[in-house]
A and B are shown apart, each in its own frame.
Chain A
């Protein structure tokens, strides 16, 4: 099946710094990718929809100036957490759908990135 990778798998940063997380579709093209955030023992919460070549669409309550999304190519989307604070510590997960799979509606998820802000 299609594979989605994320880098880094975990990162620790100091409060006030920015962190970039990459999401790549390794063997398929994705015009749309999704970014989720998951706090401990909670469900995945959709943050935004990343669109190749255009602006991302953010869910209600998600600060677009704090969580910068860039979908530079059909295989890469990045999420930058700007001026990170301890409350931004979370598990960030991206997903994408393989348009080349015909009638399959399966979305593929990355392995996630654990962000810890100290």
Chain B
């Protein structure tokens, strides 16, 4: 299973764009990259998933370079409610695929 490395914490202000980078040097050919958001005392919530290049949905964008050894989650115009822990995970999407969580990044958004 690929190991991921993220910054432990980040600070931002409301309305700014936030980019959280994840390093996954030993990502396998079949691995997907998935980002989750977790608020205190809640289960993780799916944000976005990608395999290569760029993926965008209604809440975020995911940028993956050609070598796929890293990825960047981009949150446009963050608000106070985006304060949470963000986890980057890599893994093959089989039915029995285990998701191993890293330390995550605590994003603190200030007014």
Give the B-binding residues of A (Cβ under 8 A): 1, 4, 6, 31-32, 34, 36, 43-46, 49, 51, 91, 93, 95, 97, 99, 103-112, 114
Contacts and interface: CB of A to CB of B under 8 A. Distances in A.
26 contacts: A31-B95, A32-B95, A36-B101, A43-B101, A44-B44, A44-B87, A45-B101, A46-B101, A49-B96, A49-B98, A91-B41, A95-B99, A99-B95, A104-B49, A104-B93, A105-B32, A105-B34, A106-B49, A107-B34, A107-B99, A109-B36, A109-B45, A112-B41, A112-B42, A112-B43, A114-B41
A106 B42 contact: no
A97 B97 contact: yes
Interface residues of B, number: 24
A93 to B, nearest CB: 5
Interface in B82-111: 87, 91-93, 95-104
Interface string B3-32: 000000000000000000000000000001
A34 B103 CA distance: 19
Contacts of B44: 44, 93, 95, 109
